[in-house]
Copies of this chain bind each other. A is one copy, B any other.
Amino acid sequence: MSSASVILQLICPDRPALVSDIAGWVAANGGNIRHADHHTDAGAGLFLSRIEWDLQGFGLPREAIPVAVKALAERLGGDAQVHFSDDHPRVAILVSKQSHCLLDLLWRARSGELPMQVPLVISNHPDLEPYCADFGVPFVCVPVTTGKKAEAEATILELLDEHQVDLAVLAKYMQVLSGGFLERFSEVINIHHSFLPAFKGAQPYHRAWERGVKLIGATAHYVTEELDDGPIIEQTIATVSHRDEVEDLIRKGRDTERLALARALRLHLRRQVMVYRGRTAVFA
């Protein structure tokens, strides 16, 4: 619909005139800014900036932009990432037996709502293969058997490498990834079926029912080594009542899970999320 844009994400120590400095750099190179968002974390003395401008007409050729941005970041003593909106990341979806998030993501990818490629789906169970076949997406089953988790993770890492995957999405993948895995592949988004930090860990709906809560939630977050403790991108909720049994919580939860995950993934893919201090700034 719209032509390609350049997206700069920059974090650096806060100091005066940063907005002017960065916007001036874009303008000096002939860039026409579409969106510019900034955030200052006063407590940490950090400045975060996300600027998006038209690639067409920009003074620097595409291949030269990353180097130029790196120089800019160095001058400001910070870190920067640059992305192009027409580069659609390669996303692997990891699942177990539940289909709701997988089907939702495949449909959103096909419809163009999620700007990504899906080179493969990985599962520890064979159940969801037919959904992948319907969408023409390769499906690989990597069983996780007792005592063989390390081998399974090694296989997954090889698959991610082989398919040049940029991001792994745990779409109800009911396995915890080890710290060793995350050291080798750290770009992972998970959907947890509770309103974190409530009900970390296993069986959150059962525990939510036991506790008698009146709202249940879902949390999409980046995965870190500590379980369910990574930076939160999006949270959604659904109302429940005493009439709802655990299976009703699970059913209602599916809707809130797939919504939280889809929104979070779209924000990530459009480079609207920046991570700092274990939390996220979401420029929506």
Q: Is A111 an interface residue (CB 8 A)?
A: yes
Docked Cα-Cα span, A215 to B18, in Å, equals 30
Interface size on A, residues (CB 8 A): 61
Chain B: minimal CB distance from A249 (Å): 13
Task: Name the residue on B nearest A48 (C-beta).
Answer: B242
Q: Mark A18-42, 1 if CB is under 8 A from B, else 0.
A: 1111011011101111111111100
Contact across chains for B214 and A234 when beta carbons are under 8 A apart: yes
A19 touches which of B23, B100, B111, B280 (Cβ 8 Å): B23
Q: Is A259 an interface residue (CB 8 A)?
A: yes
Q: Is A255 an interface residue (CB 8 A)?
A: yes
In chain A, positions 223-259 with a C-beta closer than 8 Å to chain B are 231-235, 237, 241-243, 247, 251, 255, 259
Q: Mark A198-219, 1 if CB is under 8 A from B, else 0.
A: 1100000000000111110100
12 pairs, A vs B, C-beta closer than 8 Å: A1-B247, A18-B33, A19-B19, A36-B36, A37-B37, A39-B243, A99-B107, A211-B232, A212-B279, A213-B232, A237-B237, A241-B282
